[in-house]
Amino acid sequence: MELLFNYIDGVDNFLNDQWLKILLLFNHDDRLMFTFGTSLVHTVSFLIGNLFYMYVDCTGKPAWMLKYKIQKDKHFPVEPRRFFWCCAVVLFNEILSCVLIYLSYPIMKYTGMSCDQPVPQLWKMYLLYMGFGYLNDASFFFLHRLMHHPSIYKYCHKMHHEWIAPISIAAVYSHPIDHIFANFVPYFIGPILLGSHLSLVWWWIAIAQIDTCGHHSNYHLPFLSSPQYHNYHHVK
Ligand SMILES: [Zn+2]
Ligand SMILES: [Zn+2]
């Protein structure tokens, strides 16, 4: 048991050391860390979550990926025109996300976001992360359901469902209004309501971004969470 506590202390110390380097890099400028740093994490994690799937979607290689594909007869490889249009919409929404991150800085500070040392201990990070997850799921469920309301659906959310067999990058192929309410708000509702250290906000966003790419990828790879539920939602 003592060994475990020593190990956890070691991880806490390591995270604090790394965070100090980031603080020095940004010259302790909270606004710059949140706006630029969070935008960078948001964009880079989305790219990391997509690069391999994009290669497979564009080339149809490696051929063994086909055995993990859920809708095997669709987009292997994907039609180039459709793919590039999807990329253009995604780029627009990514820029929109960066603008929203910039605008949300005063709210994050008001509700208690901290950027200084020390970073929260691992157990506290874990509890907050779970809280972010529950608030994300609950708000996504409610807002996504709202987007499926017949009087709203055809104006906003229908665009996202043009991809009946989604590809990973289509995770944010959405109408801007849909992107704000069904993508951006659920991500940030937890950090806003619970208050958080910025380092945890970055962890949360990076993991959530990679996760949503997998859920839209149309591939169920071993050891990764199943995208079948969301895939079924796109089919129906
Ligand atoms: Zn939907
Ligand atoms: Zn979707």
Indicate whether 217 belongs to any domain: yes
Q: What is the pLDDT of residue 171?
A: 95
Q: What is the pLDDT of residue 227?
A: 81
Indicate whether 31 belongs to any domain: no
Residue 163 CA to ligand 2 centre (angstroms): 8
Residue 161 CA to ligand 1 centre (angstroms): 6
pLDDT tens for the chain, 236 residues: list them. Answer: 788 888 888 888 899 999 999 999 999 999 999 999 999 999 999 999 999 999 998 888 898 888 888 887 777 788 999 999 999 999 999 999 999 999 999 999 999 999 998 999 999 999 999 999 999 999 999 999 999 999 999 999 999 999 998 999 999 999 999 999 999 999 999 999 998 899 999 999 999 999 999 999 989 888 787 888 788 888 87
Residue 216 CA to ligand 2 centre (angstroms): 6
What is the phi/psi pair of residue 196, to 5°?
-165, 165
Number of domains within the chain: 1
Residue 230 CA to ligand 2 centre (angstroms): 6
* Contact in structure between 179 and 42 (CB atoms under 8 Å): no
CA pair distance 49, 84, nearest whole angstrom: 18
Residue with tokens 């890099």: 25
Tokens at 25, concatenated: 């890099």
**Chain centroid to CA 224: how far?**
16
Domain containing 227: what range? 51-115+128-235
Q: What is the pLDDT of residue 73?
A: 75
Indicate whether 123 belongs to any domain: no
* Contact in structure between 131 and 214 (CB atoms under 8 Å): no
Which ligand is closest to the CA of 214, given by its number?
Answer: 2
Which ligand is closest to the CA of 148, given by its number?
Answer: 1
Residue 163 CA to ligand 1 centre (angstroms): 11
CA pair distance 107, 113, nearest whole angstrom: 9
Residue 49 CA to ligand 2 centre (angstroms): 15
Indicate whether 74 belongs to any domain: yes
